[in-house]
Structure 1
């Protein structure tokens, strides 16, 4: 067990941080408030090779793994510029296509994903299924040499920024009556696909959408991997999403704690910095402890995933711990600023919105507790 990062990893963190720092929290907060994509930052990271750090080298990527991608996510967030679409385009879509896609799909999509010039978002959530993937009703049926897709998806991030989406659809039923799922790459301009903005009050650069598939026709080559094997393929992508989401949370926590610590040193009341008071210092210290603990679990989960070891429980634990830590850190930072914590000048509330979202998605804390109770403690399934 070695807790020293390699020189390569330290250099990776420093290079990513240097790019993100050029943009900084003012840039992110402005885009979060106006709900416009952080296109310039994404391009800068893509041009430097960091969007595709985990894409295989033969398709133009960096050839790294989830360890490296999680470092990218953490460091950009630590500079105040978290990018939510890294979780879906780089962590889910690129990984699933690289692992299960045909050579044709890999050559078509991975070079753009590696360069950051292409985004492929993820479409699984449905309004009536929630966390119960077996109840998905969006259907893809085989008609001759094509697939025809009908159904609805809900809360799909970044469709307006993407060239395609990785769709989870029902293609039949298993012997026990549950859904047989398959994955498809669907261009966002496919005829019959209608994307409707879904208004949310949280301040994010990335927009949410409802998708309607009205007999969307896809070529047979759009299928990713084997028909009916989608459930297994999906979970190959969901662990990376949880780990990178956790890394984003740890980065957000680092950013707001650094801002709060500076404020607590500079702000003086009764002749001395407010950080000298334990009522201010202890919540920040507690949040830092929780952030560091979450960071350790992220490294373990990413390490396991990259080595092909079972990583489900560690990924869930990392996501749970990091979301809790990020929320606690933002809350402590707001409290440290007092009334200024709500002032636009200090730009803290967009980070609270992102952290609160990541406590719910991509898997909510209650389902994580269910998973740990069942698989970690051997308790009866509760749902």
Structure 2
């Protein structure tokens, strides 16, 4: 990371150590505006700066999925849909946005009268001012639209995930407003969303490994630290080395995205790798802690719950691996050095 990114990570750590509302604390140091373009009142620092923030949120076991949902929604919304006003409110920590059906096959249906039906799937627990949805029309075509979450025909249902707070929007003939997302804008937004998610998962993996390393260095077994056993040290060393590589991959994916390159294969690859790595690290942390790691308040258990929830939020790793492989085989090969 460059010196500015190092200072940014330190600022996020300081903000998260306070006792106020998390979104407001991050807004106080200008985090929401970092990657937003100038037209939305942001600083235009790009995805590279956002990845630094999301890595730190993962390391602090505070993934804040509502933050990434809001960014994705703002990337998809056209200017004439109030994107600038919503961005300004989000920058102050006053509101959040959500998306549904952005990745994979949409489960929602939009009829001829632009009425929306179906369930959104798991969403962050935070209240949202607007939902950006991709639904299927009767002819099978996909349509983007906006829906007011507290409007008619919409029910907000508590939907915890692995003990973590969450909710789901249930649409029953909710009035929707269709809009069009240009193909290039769509790919750019979805790729950025995947890279942000990969950054959070990489940070969660580092938090789990840090807890595991601290435990095995102080835990004595037959008078010697647990880390002196090769079966423990080698497994930790392998995951630490892999984590360094995946973190560099996330940074490089963000860098390529900011350069305007086609990052569809790289973004899928980074997210698939980060999801599997976070799950592997959190599982090992629980195993090495034993019963202590299974306690609800334990760092190992918290990291595992967050990693399990975030690893599936944008699609299963197996599907992402297949997508990345198909795109690379079709000619979307990254430049030499990436993933080698």
TM-score w.r.t. structure 2 length?
A: 0.88
After TM superposition, list the pairs within 5 Å mapping 1:1-383 onto structure 2. 5-22=1-18, 40-90=21-71, 92-97=72-77, 101-103=78-80, 105-124=82-101, 131-133=104-106, 136-139=107-110, 141=112, 148-158=114-124, 160-170=126-136, 173=139, 178-179=140-141, 181-200=142-161, 202-205=162-165, 207-214=166-173, 216-218=174-176, 222-224=177-179, 226=180, 229=181, 233-378=185-330
Cα distance in structure 2, aligned partners of 1:277 and 1:374: 41
Which secondary structure state, in structure 2, belongs to the residue aligned with residue 204 of structure 1? coil
Deviation at 1:211, TM superposition (A): 1.7
Deviation at 1:102, TM superposition (A): 2.5
Q: Which whole-Å deviations, capped at 9, do the CAs of 1:311-349 have from their partners, x for residues lacking one?
A: 011001100111111111111211221221112352322
Deviation at 1:245, TM superposition (A): 1.0
TM-score w.r.t. structure 1 length?
A: 0.79
Check 1:77–1:197 CA distance in 2 against 1; reply closer, same or farther (3 A cut): same
User: 1:169, 1:183 within 8 Å by CA — same for their partners in 2?
Assistant: yes
Q: Which whole-Å deviations, capped at 9, do the CAs of 1:56-81 have from their partners, x for residues lacking one?
A: 24533232211111111111211222
Partner of 2:337: none
User: 1:94, 1:110 within 8 Å by CA — same for their partners in 2?
Assistant: yes
Which secondary structure state, in structure 1, belongs to the residue aligned with residue 290 of structure 2? helix
Deviation at 1:172, TM superposition (A): 6.9
Q: Structure 2: which 5+ residue stretches go unaligned? A: 332-340
Q: Structure 1: which 5+ residue stretches go unaligned? A: 24-38, 143-147
Deviation at 1:237, TM superposition (A): 2.5
User: 1:54, 1:69 within 8 Å by CA — same for their partners in 2?
Assistant: yes
Partner of 2:334: none
Aligned residue-pair number:
331
Q: CA RMSD in A?
A: 2.5
| More displaced 10-residue stretch of structure 1: 11-20 or 358-367 | 358-367
Which secondary structure state, in structure 2, belongs to the residue aligned with residue 80 of structure 1? coil
Partner of 1:35: none
